[in-house]
Structure 1
Amino acid sequence: MGVGLAQNELSQGHRAYFNTGGLGLLIGDGRLSYAPERAFEAYYAMALTTTLAMSLNYQHVENLAYNRDRGPADFFAARMHVDF
């Protein structure tokens, strides 16, 4: 079991660039309504057998792409791992 918190921010230079309409690989909303991107994640991993494991994951993200007009968003995942 594990949990994590993260907060990501842009430098003043990057904020100014995106605020003037600059585009990036993952960011580019024109006049950026800037806010730090925040995330929470929790997961639980369990061994089903000696060769099979499963994990469940939940993520909550606020201000996606540093834009307070986006989100929040919730992500759920399940993963299987098999050893041969």
Structure 2
Amino acid sequence: MSVRAAVLLALALPAVAVAQRAPGAPEPATVAAQIARVQAELARNAQERARIDRELRDLQAAIDRLRVRQQQLESESLRLQSELAQLQSQPK
């Protein structure tokens, strides 16, 4: 049977196409179960990635707040050092 004839037959008679499945080919139900398993795993993966993205955004915001606070403390330290130097330079 030519490939074209086999394709036409498979399209015309789906039951025949299943019956002519290659030896050792998995059952359609097995393939469907594997597809469902992989799709579920992909969904879990997407949820985990979304959770990690949220956590990264939260951590980045915390880092940004800490950097602002660090800059404020550095400015305060410079101001206090200047004040200290001014006080130390006054006659005693």
Q: TM-score, normalization: structure 2? A: 0.20
Answer 1 or 2: higher relative contact order, Cα 8 Å, separation at least 6: 1
Q: Which protein is richer in helix relative to its size?
A: 2
